[in-house]
């Protein structure tokens, strides 16, 4: 997700559309989720995720750390802190993907191609040595959320894998070049951004999305929860970046948004779906994807 954010922010700079205004994500309103409409169009999970997270994705670009990174302004200590925190997130996510993906969604499990924990460990040791690190508060919240999802509805791990891996693939090489120049590094410290076993990132992403759309046994209500959880993941990422803004000490009024601003996407979704069940309309529910008609 970080790679995708920086790449898109760079594009917005080229279009002269960037701004220093911090974007506030408005919590989803009860009236807008879910959409009840009869439709004969097939449901595309990949398109639902893309459209359903567009606002959160755009808002994440407003974090100062992300904007500065896109400009090549990178503090080495903050970059090391981010790398350390990402290690904790990926260790948690990949451990749980190894546990649940083979039985829940094997077609989306690509450990050989995608795993990042081992290379992140190399990067952390390059910056910080072998001394044991601790996750930040926002990172621990992120880890706890992934653990919670794995316990309650493991299929939603797809949302976290989608948010992290496809974002990394989208901008990893660009990030590596920016960081290499700004921090005067070679490959050491930047191995996270290199996917050695993926020769064509675009082709891999296209295939990943195709496999998502070909998943069987996922109904419309689950797709809605997958979209909601992907929004949770985006805001959890934002909170990690906001922590870096606070640590920088040169951004006035920098703060980390409340955890509830992330989890509310999923909580509201569950509340609305319960209304459908209580009203005996769940069987009539069809998830409408904007732009598919």
Q: What is the pLDDT of residues 111-128, one digit of tens each?
A: 999 999 999 999 999 999
Cβ density class 94-125: b for 16+ within 10 Å, e for less: bebbeebbeebbeebbbeeebbbbebbbebbe
With a pLDDT cut of 90, the percent of the chain lying above it is: 70
Q: Domain tally for the chain?
A: 1
Identify the CATH number of the domain in which residue 150 sits. 1.20.910.10
Is there a domain that residue 290 lies in?
no
Is there a domain that residue 261 lies in?
yes
Contact at 8 Å (CB) between 263 and 285? no
Is there a domain that residue 70 lies in?
yes
Which residues make Cβ contacts (< 8 Å) with residue 209, sequence separation at least 6?
46
Is there a domain that residue 260 lies in?
yes
Q: Is the pLDDT of residue 292 over 50?
A: no
Q: Is the pLDDT of residue 157 over 50?
A: yes
Q: Is the pLDDT of residue 258 over 50?
A: yes
Which residues make Cβ contacts (< 8 Å) with residue 181, sequence separation at least 6?
72
Residue 178 lies in domain: 45-283
pLDDT digits (tens, 9 = 90+) for 27-72: 544 333 433 333 344 579 999 999 999 999 888 788 899 899 989 9
What's residue 17's pLDDT?
43
Is there a domain that residue 262 lies in?
yes
Write the Ramachandran bin of 16: left for phi over 0, alpha for psi from -120 to 50, otherwise beta: left
Determine if the peptide bond prior to 34 is cis (ω within 30°): yes
pLDDT digits (tens, 9 = 90+) for 123-142: 999 999 999 999 999 999 99
d(CA 87, CA 84): 5
What's residue 280's pLDDT?
74
Is there a domain that residue 209 lies in?
yes
Is there a domain that residue 40 lies in?
no
Is there a domain that residue 105 lies in?
yes
Is 141 or 9 the better-scoring residue by pLDDT?
A: 141
pLDDT digits (tens, 9 = 90+) for 244-256: 999 998 899 999 9
Task: Please tell me the least confidently modeled range out of 4-8, 170-174, 279-283.
Answer: 4-8
């Amino acid at each position: 997700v970080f790679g995708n954010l920086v790449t898109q922010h760079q594009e917005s700079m080229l279009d002269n559309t960037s701004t220093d205004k911090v974007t506030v994500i408005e919590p989803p309103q009860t009236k807008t989720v879910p959409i009840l409409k009869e439709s004969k169009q097939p449901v595309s999970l990949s398109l639902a995720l893309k459209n359903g997270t567009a606002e959160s994705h755009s808002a994440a670009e407003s974090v100062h750390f992300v904007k500065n990174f896109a400009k090549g302004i990178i503090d080495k200590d903050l970059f090391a802190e981010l790398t350390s925190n990402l290690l904790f997130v990926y260790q948690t996510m990949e451990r749980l993907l190894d546990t649940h993906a083979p039985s829940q969604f094997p077609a989306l499990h690509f450990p050989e191609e995608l795993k990042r924990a081992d290379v992140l460990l190399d990067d952390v040791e390059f910056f910080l040595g072998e001394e044991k690190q601790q996750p930040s508060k926002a990172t621990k919240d992120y880890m706890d959320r992934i653990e919670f999802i794995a316990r309650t509805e493991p299929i939603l791990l797809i949302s976290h894998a989608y948010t992290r891996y496809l974002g990394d693939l989208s901008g990893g090489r660009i990030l590596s070049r920016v960081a290499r120049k700004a921090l005067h590094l070679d490959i050491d410290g930047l191995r996270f951004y290199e996917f050695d076993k993926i020769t064509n990132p675009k082709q891999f992403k296209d295939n990943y999305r195709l496999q998502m759309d070909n998943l069987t046994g996922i109904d419309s209500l689950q797709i809605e929860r997958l979209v909601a959880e992907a929004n949770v993941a985006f805001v959890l990422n934002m909170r990690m970046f906001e922590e870096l803004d606070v640590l920088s000490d040169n951004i006035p009024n920098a703060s980390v948004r409340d955890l509830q601003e992330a989890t509310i996407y999923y909580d509201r979704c569950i509340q609305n779906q319960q209304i459908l069940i209580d009203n005996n309309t769940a069987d009539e529910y069809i998830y409408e994807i904007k732009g598919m008609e």
